[in-house]
Chains A and B, each alone.
Chain A
């Protein structure tokens, strides 16, 4: 942990304006991401989980500046991505590529696979036409397709094969970091495991670093070294995947983990069913944004925003149950350690 991380994100924010009225005046803001910080070491996989609207996809896109951050910094290999000019940013994107969720919408239906895969090389001016064609065929083989697939169109492939093409496209420029936004959620179970295995193989072979954004907690545990949990635009817990799944500290993480159905009918679990829905990010609750649904709510939770603090080594949590403000008030409240999952 002493070396400079591959990616360092500091206090990243994104507020989308809400417009209304005849003149389209700004009448409010949707605070999609509200101060997220984390680091990613070279060669590791960071998983980001959360439910819809928690800001995980917006965070992923801001790292590449596909969405411009409102505030905050992203350092890639020590360089601040948010300060880069358009030309420099384009060069930087050679090293940071993205794999999208929907393998049907993210490939141009009018281009052959060859053209789709060649495009990133052309954009970045890499190689001669012959070299580019060779690389296309090489990568098709790497992701488990055949070189004769190069002349086909996206509609001729199944969902799993399309996702392989999406991964091949991301690999064309030999990137260091790949941000995968829900890479397997559109796929059938039997195909999902093929793609997850492929991603792991590629990581071992090319020393890739991944940020995997997903809502499926099983998938995230399987592929990640460390996992961050987001709720309403904030990172509420961040630690290694073993610790997070075995000893979750934040009440939201505990509830989230206990809500996942386990494919084993004889498995008995103590499920914590959360009441209510996720509040709207345009009007988030005061203090800790989770206090409206939290089973361990204290008075302090309504007033003060809990900070993401290191509770144990490498285990960060943003909850008053573990903060100084909360400790004082929590004398007579059951500690969540008693909740087993």
Chain B
């Protein structure tokens, strides 16, 4: 696994929005990578910066007010932050494609499914019209849509939500991208349809070896589809590691709280754990750990210093002073509290 080289490498990425009230950092110094053919999950609650991260990779941050202030984004070794718009247009849809949450609004209602599907092939000059059409029909079949030939001449409003999301996936996969970014791809769908779409994405991942960066707030979806997980909170990566490690041995107090907050369908808990307080507004916390105000283990140092990422195991790291070896006393304390 670890021998596979990364498709996407993000280092020290900082994205800010410049508003009337000054600079608001939405994503603050984050690092992560996506390996070839793997599924990486990015989890977090609203406002944690997970969508801004994905838009930065696509070069779609609205500017102004948004701007990539610092950091690098490398796709197959090519730096994207300094790439020209012309180059970005060649990359988008070809090397990296994206599907969005709202399948209703991300398809153009005025064009047929066929013409929207053929666009990508034609724009990226991967074939003539006839080849593009054949490719489009093949893709519709690949994503499991019935009557592919007829669908080519239909309009988005004639399809259900689940079918539209399949069309979106077909469109993203037309040029055989190395990386697919899926931003909350199943949030707007019903559970039985969600199960179909997740199964489809997993199948494409295995059959076509497409790496997937899955952005979601649903821990269940992450557990079911992802190999590695990045947990974000208030614009920072607070924990990352293998999915099994994250769920079996969550280390950051936020990750632990989040996992315990979810009602489990398999057995009834008497009372749910809940993290006190609210998700902070971006940019509202200037000093210390961003989670300190809601953290039950917070101590003085958390309020003053911003913790770095501590490596706690192979491929697992956590942004929390509890894992600083110099804070030995607190470490012991943690062991008793969690048991």
A residues whose Cβ falls under 8 Å from a Cβ of B:
51-52, 158, 160-161, 188-194, 196-197, 200, 215-219, 221-222, 241-242, 245, 255-267, 271, 273-274, 277-278
Per-residue CB proximity of B246-269 to A under 8 Å, as 1/0?
A: 011000000001110111111011
Contacts of A261 in B (CB 8 A): 194-195, 198, 218, 220-221, 223-224
When the two chains form their complex, are residues A52 and B190 in contact, meaning their CB atoms are under 8 A apart?
A: yes
Q: How many residues of B contact A (CB 8 A)?
A: 46
When the two chains form their complex, are residues B190 and A197 in contact, meaning their CB atoms are under 8 A apart?
A: no
Residues from 176 to 191 in B contacting A, C-beta threshold 8 Å:
190-191
CB-contact partner of A160 in B244, B272, B278, under 8 A: B278
Contacts of B274 in A (CB 8 A): 190, 193-194, 197
Would you call B222 an interface residue if the criterion is a C-beta within 8 Å of the partner chain's C-beta atoms? yes
Please list 28 pairs of residues, one from A and one from B, whose beta carbons are closer than 8 Å in the complex, sorted by A's number: A51-B191, A160-B278, A188-B46, A189-B258, A190-B258, A191-B45, A192-B261, A193-B261, A193-B275, A194-B276, A197-B271, A197-B274, A215-B191, A216-B263, A221-B268, A256-B191, A258-B195, A259-B191, A261-B218, A261-B220, A261-B224, A263-B223, A263-B259, A263-B262, A263-B264, A264-B223, A271-B199, A277-B162
Complex CA gap A18/B24 in Å reads: 49
Would you call B74 an interface residue if the criterion is a C-beta within 8 Å of the partner chain's C-beta atoms? no
Q: How far is the CB of B189 from chain A (nearest CB, A)?
A: 9
Contacts of A197 in B (CB 8 A): 271-272, 274
Contacts of A264 in B (CB 8 A): 223, 247
When the two chains form their complex, are residues A221 and B263 in contact, meaning their CB atoms are under 8 A apart?
A: yes
The list of the 8 closest CB pairs from A to B, nearest first, reads: A261-B220, A222-B263, A51-B190, A259-B195, A188-B45, A218-B263, A193-B261, A193-B274
When the two chains form their complex, are residues B265 and A245 in contact, meaning their CB atoms are under 8 A apart?
A: yes
CB-contact partner of A189 in B196, B217, B224, under 8 A: B217
Would you call B163 an interface residue if the criterion is a C-beta within 8 Å of the partner chain's C-beta atoms? yes
Contacts of B257 in A (CB 8 A): 190
Contacts of A196 in B (CB 8 A): 263, 272
Q: How far is the CB of A224 from chain B (nearest CB, A)?
A: 10
Contacts of B262 in A (CB 8 A): 189, 193, 218, 263
Complex CA gap A91/B327 in Å reads: 62
Contacts of A260 in B (CB 8 A): 191, 220, 265
Would you call B219 an interface residue if the criterion is a C-beta within 8 Å of the partner chain's C-beta atoms? yes
Residues from 183 to 217 in B contacting A, C-beta threshold 8 Å:
190-196, 198-199, 217
When the two chains form their complex, are residues B198 and A158 in contact, meaning their CB atoms are under 8 A apart?
A: no
Q: How far is the CB of B137 from chain A (nearest CB, A)?
A: 21
Would you call B331 an interface residue if the criterion is a C-beta within 8 Å of the partner chain's C-beta atoms? no
Complex CA gap A271/B225 in Å reads: 14
When the two chains form their complex, are residues B278 and A221 in contact, meaning their CB atoms are under 8 A apart?
A: no
When the two chains form their complex, are residues B45 and A273 in contact, meaning their CB atoms are under 8 A apart?
A: no
Would you call B299 an interface residue if the criterion is a C-beta within 8 Å of the partner chain's C-beta atoms? no
When the two chains form their complex, are residues B190 and A158 in contact, meaning their CB atoms are under 8 A apart?
A: no
On whether A188 and B279 interact (CB within 8 A), knowing A262-B224, A265-B244, the answer reads yes
On whether A191 and B278 interact (CB within 8 A), knowing A260-B220, A260-B265, the answer reads yes
When the two chains form their complex, are residues A263 and B219 in contact, meaning their CB atoms are under 8 A apart?
A: yes
Complex CA gap A192/B257 in Å reads: 12
